[in-house]
Amino acid sequence: MKTHYYFLLAFISLGSLHAQEWQTPIIEGYGEVKYFSEAAVQPDTSLSYNLLFDIKSEATKSGVNKELWVMARMLNLLSVAGVPTEKIHLVASIHGSATFITLNEEAYQKKYGKPNPNANLIRQLKEHGVDLFVCSQATAARKITSEEVDAHITPALSGLSVLSNYQLKGYVLMPN
């Protein structure tokens, strides 16, 4: 009898863990998260999250750049865990084969014959305080003019300068 009780208790506990719904509280439609209050290693609400993302791949997830999607997930995750927005500082260095995701709608349409699938996500990230930089060396190598870069993205001298400067300022480089 005792074994059945423990099994039932474990089953109910597991059920409550999986009952959570996927949500996107900050970046709507991207970076879905489920919150588990009983999970170990929760974000520390007393810390400032100064995080740096090196976006150099054109890999996708859910139809958008995978690393932009991961940034959305990080914002959503920190939000559901109760980290105050003033303690969240995300920066992206966009370069390499990811450079074309920075094209504005007109330039992307001209190059690919369709709207930029990243435009809405880029706009939402920027509206929520994310600093998005594109490498001017990468845009020059791909013959992208400054007028063709999305207005929500800031040209930097190089992706390397963004990565080095922000790490020297204490930002943590996130793995990708």
> Which CATH number goes with the domain that contains 117?
3.40.1260.10
Range of the domain at 115: 2-39+46-173
∠ CA 176-71-121, nearest 5°, is: 125
Element (H, E) at 124: helix 119-127
pLDDT of residue 176: 84
Mapped onto helix, strand or coil, the DSSP state of residue 31 is coil
- The predicted model scores a pTM of 0.87
Digit-coded pLDDT (tens) for 84-120: 999 999 999 999 999 999 999 999 999 999 999 999 9
Give the confidence band of 8 by pLDDT, cuts at 50, 70, 90. Answer: very low
CA gap 150, 109 in Å, rounded: 12
Please report which helix (H) or strand (E) contains residue 132, including its range: strand 131-135
Q: Is the pLDDT of residue 9 over 80?
A: no
Q: Tally the domains of the chain.
A: 1
Mean pLDDT of the chain: 92
Whole-number pLDDT of residue 156: 98
H/E element, 79: helix 66-80
Residue 2: pLDDT above 60? Answer: no
Is the pLDDT at 130 greater than 60? The verdict is yes
